[in-house]
Amino acid sequence: MSLGALLLASASSATHASAARPGGFDPASTLPWSVPFLLVVPVMAYVLLLFSVRSRRGAANVAMGTVVVMLALTLLVAWARFRQRATYKTSYQWINVPVSFTGEQRFP
């Protein structure tokens, strides 16, 4: 499954579930961009700290800004998740690691 199909599936199920909500801001409409930013923002901040900031104050400002942005994105995603009244329509398998194996039980 490609990334575009994954984003489209998550966006369509979130907007269909929240389409019945009358008026106002719909937090589920922000999921296609806010969830990937949860992964991208810390990496961008780390790269920014490594290659550009040369003072302690600048590094502290970038780190605090990253924490604030991550907190805002987390609250936005949580708001969208807990305001949703409908059941899940789509599920994704994130981790596929076998936990059992056959063969020698002793470690060499």
Quote the strand ranges of the chain, DSSP E: none
HSE at residue 43, side-chain half, CA atoms within 13 A, is: 5
Nearest residue to 81 (alpha-carbon basis) of 28, 36, 35, 34: 28
Question: Is the pLDDT assigned to residue 11 strictly greater than 80?
Answer: no
The string of pLDDT tens digits covering residues 23-61 is 677 888 888 888 889 899 999 999 988 898 788 998 899
Question: Is the pLDDT assigned to residue 2 strictly greater than 70?
Answer: no
CB neighbours (10 Å) of residue 98?
A: 5
Does residue 14 sit within a domain?
A: no
Rounded-to-10 torsion of CA 100, 102, 103, 107: 0
Q: Which residue has the higher pLDDT, 84 or 17?
A: 84
Question: Is the pLDDT assigned to residue 65 strictly greater than 90?
Answer: yes
Does residue 3 sit within a domain?
A: no
Token pair of 16, please? 């269909």
Per-residue confidence at 69, pLDDT binned at 50, 70, 90? very high
Does residue 6 sit within a domain?
A: no
- If one counts the domains in the chain, the total is 1
Nearest residue to 39 (alpha-carbon basis) of 2, 7, 83: 7
Q: Which domain holds residue 61?
A: 28-84
Does residue 72 sit within a domain?
A: yes
Does residue 106 sit within a domain?
A: no
Does residue 8 sit within a domain?
A: no
Does residue 103 sit within a domain?
A: no
Does residue 79 sit within a domain?
A: yes
* Average pLDDT, rounded, for the chain: 77
* CA angle in degrees (0–180, nearest 5) for 73-13-79: 30
pTM: 0.57
